[in-house]
Structure 1
Amino acid sequence: MNTIEKQKLSVLIITLNEELHIKSLLEDIDFADEIIVVDSFSTDQTVPIIESFTNVRLIRNQFLNYTSQRNFALDQARNSWILFIDADERLTPDLKTEIISTINSNSPASAYLIYRTFMFKNMKLRFSGWQTDKIFRLFNKTKCRYTEDRMVHEKLIVEGEISILKNKLIHFSYSGYEDYKKKMHQYGLLKANEKLKKGQKSSLLLMIFHPVYTFLYQFLIRLGFLDGLKGVTICYLNAYSIFIRYKELQKITASSRI
């Protein structure tokens, strides 16, 4: 009698100063066959917390950008099936069950998108553009790789079919205004350097109108106003990241001419 070999799962996490989230996440993913954390030399208590988990392999690697860090982590995994998860994300029991069931099924898909529920502190954000947020988190690394032309908001190149899981991730991205603003600022800087590599330029018009368009689109078209003050905050900070992108790109371009 032939038996199907159980598929093993590697869970990958990249971290930098994630002491607020990492303990809860590592406790949440004890069902994995392998857990690897690639840390960018955290200066808080992230590393000691990780080291307290004997089932977790910690690797320190200098952060260049999100794409290179994720691809580095992929290369460390022993198993083909990968669950890539951020420190501020959590799995529901139903999602855990679905993940294990999926990788051991006869599904032909090479990668799976997972919808996320965005949490504003401890409250669910229902609109503001996040209501349809989905991201690649589960995939077979033999058929997938992050494209090198992006530094942030990484793009997974998939060879084969793509499917979507039914259950959602819980995304605790917004813990406070200053922390989220710092994150949006970092995204803006990385996007500026990404555009520079592609030969794109900034302008005063782009610096003004693209952020304004982003805010109005998310606040009005994507119904951010229905989230009240939370919607105003998120839509503003997302627009702020766009502004930083063009401001930094203009600064880099000007300095290169000197």
Structure 2
Amino acid sequence: MPAKLTALLTCKNERANIGPCLDSVASIADELLVADSGSTDGTLEYVRRRGDCRVIEREYRTAGDFKNWAIPQATHQWVLILDCDERVTPAMAAEIRQLLAGEPPHDAYWMGRANHLMGHRVHYTDWARDRLVRLFRRDLGRYEGPSDHGNVCVPTGNYGSLRTLLDHYTLWSWESYLRKFDRYTRVQAEQWHAGGRKPSYRRMLISPPLRFFRDFVLHRGFLDGMVGLQISMMSAFYTFMKQARLWELHYGLQQDEVEPEAIAAAERRAA
């Protein structure tokens, strides 16, 4: 008997994305489980109108924490985790269907992602080397590692790989990405700070250009033209901002520490 599959989608305010994502996986999923963390844009209303989804809700702290809460609530023994900006291609659906029709030899499966920048497929840079564990046995797989960029691990160490790629519409605008950028850099700096890591002049100076060189030259981002240039530049800036925010946590001063008399005078005038 074929193994049954729960497709687990995590979301918050994904009204534009969630429909195509659900449609892409509906043909192979025995359960569509939507884990929402406070949508206010009509996402949940749309999901409930569909009638083919089960909804669970909880506040969001970090990606790994949220997904580890949701995974055990899947009904079936196999789980496929998707973000709403991802799409299961027909080729991937066929591969997963064939895999689960028999007895899968592994407990978890790596899959590559075909990433897109504002609709343009990225063939080079680090984005083209993107691989994640997303298909796994429910009772074994849990997220480990950095809270917003961890990956699924299984204690057996029994991993396989899918041949097909998952479509990932990584970002449609820099505005939307920069909101995530703010959270990612803050969370990473907070983790470093909590672990006792100190700011480093050398890392702040050297790491960003090295990151640009890796993406644009070593990983041949220049072959993606303007798309590759933008990704390489943003990756370098991301590397810089993680270091800058760590410095902020250690040495940043607040305004009321620097000019308390000016603040008090302004408040008196306002009163």
TM-score (norm 2): 0.87
Aligned partner of 1:82 among 72, 76, 79 = 79
Q: Is contact 2:3–2:102 with CA below 8 Å preserved after alignment? A: no
Deviation at 1:224, TM superposition (A): 0.8
Q: Secondary structure at the match of 1:168?
A: strand
What is the aligned residue count?
253
Is 1:199 paired with 2:172?
Answer: no
Question: What are structure 1's unaligned runs of at least 5 residues?
Answer: none
Q: Is contact 1:184–1:240 with CA below 8 Å preserved after alignment? A: no
Structure 2 CA distance for aligned equivalents of residues 196 and 55 of structure 1: 44
Deviation at 1:197, TM superposition (A): 3.1
Match of 1:179 in 2: 176
Is 1:218 paired with 2:215?
Answer: yes
After superposition, where does 1:225-236 map in structure 2 within 5 Å? 225-236=222-233
TM-score (norm 1): 0.91
Deviation at 1:193, TM superposition (A): 2.0
Q: Is contact 1:184–1:237 with CA below 8 Å preserved after alignment? A: no
Match of 1:123 in 2: 120
Structure 1 CA distance for aligned equivalents of residues 177 and 17 of structure 2: 14
CA-to-aligned-CA distance 1:175-213 (integer Å, 9 cap, x gap): 112222322232211211222233222223322322221
Question: What are structure 2's unaligned runs of at least 5 residues?
Answer: 258-271
Q: Is contact 1:185–1:241 with CA below 8 Å preserved after alignment? A: no
Query: Percent identity among equivalent residues?
Result: 29
**Residue type of the alignment partner of 1:16:** K
The root-mean-square deviation of aligned C-alpha atoms, in Å, is 2.0
Is 1:146 paired with 2:146?
Answer: no
Match of 1:68 in 2: 65
Match of 1:254 in 2: 251
Match of 1:163 in 2: 160
Structure 2 CA distance for aligned equivalents of residues 131 and 50 of structure 1: 31
CA-to-aligned-CA distance 1:59-108 (integer Å, 9 cap, x gap): 22111101101101102112120000111111111111111221232332
Q: Secondary structure at the match of 1:201?
A: coil
Of stretches 124-133 and 192-201 in structure 1, the one that deviates more from structure 2 is 192-201
Deviation at 1:255, TM superposition (A): 6.2
